[in-house]
Amino acid sequence: MTIIVETLDLGGTGLRVVVKDTIDVAGTATRASSKSLEQAPLAAQHADVVANLLAAGARLTAKVSLHELAFGTTGINHYTGTAMNPKYPGRIPGGSSSGSAAAIAAGLADFSLGTDTGGSVRIPACCCGVFGFKPTFGRVSRKGVMPSRTSLDCVGPFAASLPMLVRAMTLIDPTFVPAQVPREARVGVLRVTAEAAIQKVVHGALTASGLSLGNVEFKHFGAAYDAGMVVINRETFDACGHLLATGNVGADIAGRLAAAGQTTDTALAEAEQVRRRFTEEVDLALTRFDVLALPTMPDFPLRIEDAGDTRAVLGMTSLVRPFNLSGHPALTIPLGSEAGLPVGLQLIGAKGADEKLLAVAERLLQNIHG
């Protein structure tokens, strides 16, 4: 299975960590799983998150693969090869941080780091049946992470357990101090469109949690998804559009990049208005509830043979992308299903309240598992 793109042995004897190959590691090239970056120069210094890991004694063992240029949701990569989904063979590993999720599902590391611009931590975590966390935008340093300029992207961890995910946050974010697990919490359940089998699993988990539940509906949720696409397209083209001239960008990504280059200033301005309105909606809901809850994905992960057209399957991010636009922290919790396929329960917290969000998630899991 194509997960590791470069083997490393950096750091002490602590936790084993692998990182997505959009994160700089001194002395290695950051290639973002793209032939167009085959001749990229070696990084002169570590990204801040890598430096923090090494300073804490973690052992960095590898850089891992991704959907080319982090511009896709399936994880399918015809250049480096597609990371196999260890728990659900034949299903997509999700993208763009496919290798980061697959490495945890395969037991190759204690935790891993990916990046999330439009669901790129939460989608692969859901597909591979592990925990994945997108911190509040700007909470975790992105210095030394590709792309250098973004209003959406966040570095976030994957782990097989919530306590390990919390541990990962303490290592990559010096300001993160785990919160005490609350006895009670108010959960706003967001009304969204998803397959009945997915809704059944999520509803069952929330009901079993015994937490106080209430209904939430957002007027601008759909518009936020569309606006998020506009912003991602503009910012990805600004960062990577020049690579089209190499002729070495994969055909699927090249087509998306070329189309992204047509994003107008007017469309971007309208997207920013939606960002403001949707953010206000989420902020207001989080004055009534401790966290918000909804599925991570609207359906089960696709089979690899059914996911070849990246643009045709972007709808799999319909429930995650809006929270990149708003910047709120978001966690996906792995759940099982009668179909034997993965389901994700997504929890959203107030901006800057990452510790509280993870503590409420711990209470929910403790209640479910007794």
Q: Which residues of the chain have pLDDT under 70?
A: 1, 312
H helices of 286-353, where? 322-326
In this predicted model, what pLDDT tens digit does every residue of 262-316 receive, in sequence order?
999 999 999 999 999 999 999 999 999 999 999 999 999 999 999 987 776 878 9
User: Considering 20, 63, 87, 356, which one is annotated as catalytic?
Assistant: 20
Given the residues 33, 34, 65, 120, the one annotated as active site: 120
**CA-to-CA distance for 63 and 33, rounded, in angstroms?**
10
20 is catalytic: yes
Name the phi and psi angles at 334, rounded to 5.
-75, 135
81-125 pLDDT tens trace: 999 999 999 999 999 999 999 999 999 999 999 999 999 999 999
Identify the CATH number of the domain defined by range 4-219+278-369: 3.90.1300.10
Examine the residue annotation and report whether 143 is marked as an active-site residue of this protein. Answer: no
Provide the pLDDT for residue 163: 98
From start to end of 24-58, where are the E strands? none
DSSP state of 106: T
* Contact (CB, 8 A) for 210 and 369: no
Domain boundaries, the chain: 4-219+278-369
**Which of 33, 96, 97, 326 does the annotation list as catalytic?**
96
Question: What pLDDT was estimated at residue 308?
Answer: 82
